[in-house]
Structure 1
Amino acid sequence: MEKKIAIISDIHGNQSALKAVFDDISQEGKIDHIYCLGDLVGIGYETNEVLELLFSRDDISFVLGNHDEAILDIIAGREPYSKKKEREHHEWIASHLDRKFLPFLLAIPTTIDAVYNEKKLLFSHYHLDEHGDFLSVDYEPTIEKLDFLYRDSSADIVCFGHHHVIHHFKTKKRLYLNPCSLGCYPKPLASYTILTIGERGEIGVTFKEAPYDNKEFLLGYNRQNVPDSEYILKMFHGNQHLQYL
């Protein structure tokens, strides 16, 4: 039987974008499972609203993102990777996180393996080094680089996020997918991917964009006094808020 899964990533505390994707997924018919590739929170400020939506469902598996990890480190009193303004932003997010979500967040692994119709899938927020730490973003990925990074993996399909652009690389060894960022985009569109795997292992990939009204979300950065909001609105949302001022 054909299997169909939805892949979401980099929600970044954007509740209205997440709702739009869930609504869109519901129109897809039967979805066997949803995989979330990390960065549930951070950048966006709707931390608790997003976590409430995500953890209220029983059809999602998660991997931990770098922003999630940094905020958990701050709460635990460990030194996060973030510095200066990003550190200040993470501390603000951590201070507003409802502690009831901590057990869910702390249980999230760094990677997940799955098998559908004999195709092996690997899910991760981003590429990891030999110590299990996230590598720096490669802004010029190639099939050669990706095959080298995953040279010891038996996965047929590797799914990751972190870099907020679509990746769709097919090599002789495997398929690499990045669904793009759900919550950070210079247009009022929320991105995700539908992956289908047929009975004989045939693979179909559909990149989706769910439109949504992001006005209140964008204007909320200033209402909430989110640290570094000017930079965030410019770099991660393309200054869309300016049309509403």
Structure 2
Amino acid sequence: MRIVILSDIHANVTAFKAVLADISTICKVDACAIIGDLVNYGPRPNEIIEMVKGIDKPLLVNLWGNHEYSIFGGNLERFATERGRSVLKYTNSILTLESHDYLDKEMEHSGFQKCRIGEKSFLFMHGNLDDPYWGKFGVDKMNDERFVEYDYVISGHSHVPHYVEYFFVSDNVAYRNKKRTVFINPGSVGQPRNHNPYAQYGILDVESGNYEHRCVWYDMKEEQELYSDIVDRFYKDRLTLGI
């Protein structure tokens, strides 16, 4: 089972097209997991939703992120700036009824999902366990004993990729009293923030454990030209540097 992991697409059609084209060059892909934030910041939320509908692999996971949550009445004060609140209102104003229905009826609202894939136990979450939409998650939170039951914990939201193997203390002599949990963040397709402007995603082979972080060039200027003057230019300018 080989899974494509996508997060934080943020209505960036040009980036998402490049990622889908890159995926098509890979010999075997069995399924996809989307870790939230299809919409907002970028100029084409409706088009992104239609593209997601057209993915020809099973969607094992399709989570709300904080931006979907906010579209449906989440607390706008959680946005750090007024420009963040303004761009969300703009996105909400251009979403079609069909797009609203997809976000409401076809995506998981809780912000996290547990499942088994093959022999492995997975936790997918947009933020963190205590704040599944907005919570920050990084290396400093990986020692939480609540994660010991999972083989993989896959998160999004930060727009910064990571791959970490953490070993919990465990009463298992065969494994030298250790239990491994792998933490993965695939980064962001549509708005990377790790100083790399390429569209980013991950591929996990569940059987072998091989994980590949992919960075795909796309024409940022083409996407930036589509931004409305209503949207603060910060959101298109940041694409150039991946910040």
Describe how 1:1-245 pairs up with structure 2 within 5 A: 3-57=1-55, 59-60=58-59, 61-73=61-73, 79-80=75-76, 81-82=78-79, 84-107=82-105, 108-109=107-108, 110-129=111-130, 133-137=132-136, 141-142=138-139, 145-148=141-144, 151=146, 154-172=149-167, 173-185=180-192, 189-198=198-207, 202-221=208-227, 224-229=228-233, 231-238=234-241
Name the CA distance, whole Å, in 2 between partners of 1:53 and 1:22.
9
Letter in 2 for 1:215: K
Task: Give the count of matched residue pairs.
Answer: 222
Provide the C-alpha distance between the structure 2 equivalents of 1:190 and 1:102, rounded to a whole number of angstroms.
Answer: 25
Q: Distance in 1 between matches of 2:31 and 2:230?
A: 33
The Cα of 1:217 is off from its aligned counterpart by 0.6
Measured on the aligned residues, the alpha-carbon RMSD in Å equals: 2.2
What's the CA shift for 1:134?
3.5
Structure 1 residue 56, shift from structure 2 partner: 2.7
TM-score, normalization by structure 1: 0.82
TM-superposed CA distance for 1:233, in Å, is 3.0
Report if the CA contact (8 A) 1:7-1:36 is conserved.
yes
List gaps (5 residues or longer) in structure 1.
Answer: 241-245
What is the rounded CA distance, in whole Å, between the counterparts of 1:233 and 1:38 in structure 2?
A: 20
- Contact kept? 2:134, 2:157, Cα under 8 Å: no
Distance 1:10 1:133 in 2: 14
Shift of 1:164: 1.2
Cα distance in 2 for residues equivalent to 1:167 and 1:124: 14
Per-residue deviation, residues 183-218 of structure 1 (Å, max 9, x unmatched):
1135552111010022xxx41100011222222211
The one-letter amino acid paired with 1:238 is L
Residues 133 and 37 of structure 1: is their aligned pair in 2 closer, same or farther, counting only changes over 3 Å?
closer
> Any idea what SS the aligned residue of 1:227 has?
coil
State the Cα deviation string for residues 24-58 of structure 1 (Å, max 9, x = none): 11111221100011110111111111111012335
How far apart are the structure 2 equivalents of 1:160 and 1:48? 24
Identical positions, percent: 29
Distance 2:37 2:53 in 1: 14
Contact 1:128 1:134 in 2 (8 A): no
Distance, in Å, in 1 between the alignment partners of 2:22 and 2:223 is 19
Report if aligned partners of 1:11, 1:183 keep a CA contact under 8 Å in 2: yes
| TM-superposed deviation, 1:133 | 4.5
- Kept in 2, the 8 Å contact 1:72–1:94? The answer is no
Unaligned runs of 5+ residues in structure 2 are 168-179
Give 3-state SS (helix, strand or coil) of 1:228's partner. Answer: coil
CA distance in 1, matches of 2:239, 2:70: 19
User: 1:234/1:216 Cα in 2 relative to 1: closer, same or farther (>3 Å)?
Assistant: closer
**Offset of residue 67 of structure 1:** 1.1
Q: Partners in 1 of 2:123 and 2:132 — Cα distance? A: 16
